């Protein structure tokens, strides 16, 4: 296929996964990220599934897969903090920060643009048009929607079915230096720990430090507590201490002191004491809403959806990043093998919609 003018909406991992190989193939690529300050430092750890490892080899970043912390086993805790079950299942948690930083360095200078928010996309047979929040417009041969859960690009592909569906629960998240964990919580270190009861699901594991540190004392502990929240209470859950509403989450630093203390009180009553101590050690937890979305179509005439913009994988599966990598590799292969864009997009959708 002749070289295309490709514009990618969304500059997180999915957008970078797409931008690098398509630039390497000679296409004119630009990535637009709405955040003004960038996304570095926002992640914790992720599991190195097969498609993630494949794309890292493809773009020459395989070494990143080794910047991780190994959990030597899985343990399941009773409410009293004793171990109910131990499973030998070594697993490596890769550093999200190091992965993102490495990919950001691989994208061509000047082609990753911060603070550029796309508010609409108009699809067409001869190309697509991006509309930005400042009123300016830009045309492209192909627009790739890598803009995740709050995707505006998916609206152009599925105008009648583009809304996310709330699952009924949220994930409270904490990420703390391992040295912040009290000695009484030491059982959690070097293991993938769970506590699972009807209506209660909490887990935690070590991840590298923000610069990829893996030595003892320099790592971070990542905990996730899934909690039911009524849909009628969701807006309040995502409203920060300054009374600003967020669409799908409450970022770090947004929780009031009263709500933080209520969370810690609940943890002491509901969770094993090791997890309650981990929750208490986090000064600024965040809240992630758990939503579902399944795209009826992954392509338009000049648009392709990848990652969470097309299908949202719940975090329990640890497959979101890997699925985005698989989408990108399939799209890149179809663009390389087919002579025209229409056929390439049709092959891409046939390959990946079943996976999604």
Nearest Cα neighbor of 101 from 148, 43, 54, 51 is 43
Residue 188: count of CB within 10 angstroms of its CB: 23
Contacts of 265 (CB under 8 A, 6+ apart): none
Domain ranges of the chain: 5-34+115-163+293-352, 65-96+165-291
Q: DSSP strand E in 152-219: where?
A: 165-177, 192-197, 200-207
| pLDDT band per the 50, 70, 90 thresholds, residue 43 | low
Q: Looking up tokens 């996964």, which residue turns up?
A: 17
How far CA 245 is from CA of 179, 230, 235, 249, in Å, comes to 33, 17, 7, 9
Question: What are the tens digits of pLDDT across the range 61-101?
Answer: 888 888 889 899 999 999 999 999 999 999 888 888 888 98
pLDDT at 40 over 70: no
Write down the mean pLDDT value for the chain.
Answer: 94
| pLDDT band per the 50, 70, 90 thresholds, residue 1 | confident
**Per-residue burial over 271-283, b = 16 or more CB atoms within 10 Å of its CB, e = otherwise:** bbbbbbbbbbbbe
Sheet holding 118-122, edge to edge: 118-122, 128-132, 137-140
Name the percent of the chain lying above pLDDT 90. Answer: 83
Question: What are the tens digits of pLDDT across the range 87-144?
Answer: 999 988 888 888 898 999 999 989 999 999 999 999 988 899 999 999 999 999 999 9
Q: Class of 5-34+115-163+293-352 per CATH?
A: alpha beta
pLDDT of residue 356: 94
Nearest Cα neighbor of 114 from 29, 17, 19, 39 is 39
Residue 164: count of CB within 10 angstroms of its CB: 18
**What's the predicted TM-score (pTM) here?**
0.93
Q: Round to whole Å and give the CA distance between 73 and 192.
A: 6
The structure tokens listed for 301 are 């005439």
CATH of domain 65-96+165-291: 3.30.9.60
């Amino acid at each position: 296929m002749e070289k295309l003018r490709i514009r990618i909406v969304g500059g997180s991992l999915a957008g970078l996964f797409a931008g690098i190989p398509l630039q390497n193939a000679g296409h004119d690529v630009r990535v637009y990220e709405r955040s003004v300050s960038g996304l570095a430092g926002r992640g914790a750890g992720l599991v190195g599934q097969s498609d993630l490892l494949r794309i890292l080899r493809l773009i020459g970043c395989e070494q990143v897969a080794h910047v991780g912390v190994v959990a030597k086993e899985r343990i399941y805790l009773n409410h009293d903090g004793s171990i109910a079950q131990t499973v030998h299942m070594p697993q490596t948690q890769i550093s999200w920060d190091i992965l993102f930083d490495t990919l950001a360095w691989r994208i061509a200078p000047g082609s990753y643009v911060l603070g550029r928010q796309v508010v609409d996309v108009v699809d067409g047979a001869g190309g697509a048009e991006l509309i930005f929040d400042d009123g300016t417009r830009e045309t492209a041969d192909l627009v790739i929607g890598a803009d995740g859960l709050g995707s505006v690009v998916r609206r152009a592909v599925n105008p009648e079915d583009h809304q996310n569906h709330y699952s009924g629960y949220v994930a409270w998240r904490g990420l703390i230096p391992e040295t912040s964990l009290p000695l009484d919580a030491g059982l959690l270190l070097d293991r993938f720990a769970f506590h699972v009861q009807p209506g209660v699901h909490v887990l935690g594991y070590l991840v590298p430090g923000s610069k990829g540190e893996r030595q003892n004392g320099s790592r971070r502990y990542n905990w996730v507590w899934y909690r039911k929240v009524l849909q009628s209470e969701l807006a309040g859950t995502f409203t920060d201490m300054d009374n600003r509403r967020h669409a799908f989450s409450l970022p770090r630093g947004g929780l009031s002191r009263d709500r933080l203390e209520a969370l810690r009180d609940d943890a002491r009553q509901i969770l094993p004491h090791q997890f309650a101590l981990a929750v208490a050690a986090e000064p600024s937890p965040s809240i992630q809403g758990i939503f579902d979305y399944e795209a009826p179509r992954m392509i338009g005439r000049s648009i392709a959806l990848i990652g969470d913009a097309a299908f949202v994988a719940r975090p329990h599966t640890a497959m979101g990043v890997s699925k985005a990598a698989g989408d990108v590799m399939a799209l890149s292969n179809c663009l390389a093998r087919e002579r025209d864009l229409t056929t390439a997009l049709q092959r891409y959708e046939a390959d990946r919609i079943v996976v999604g």
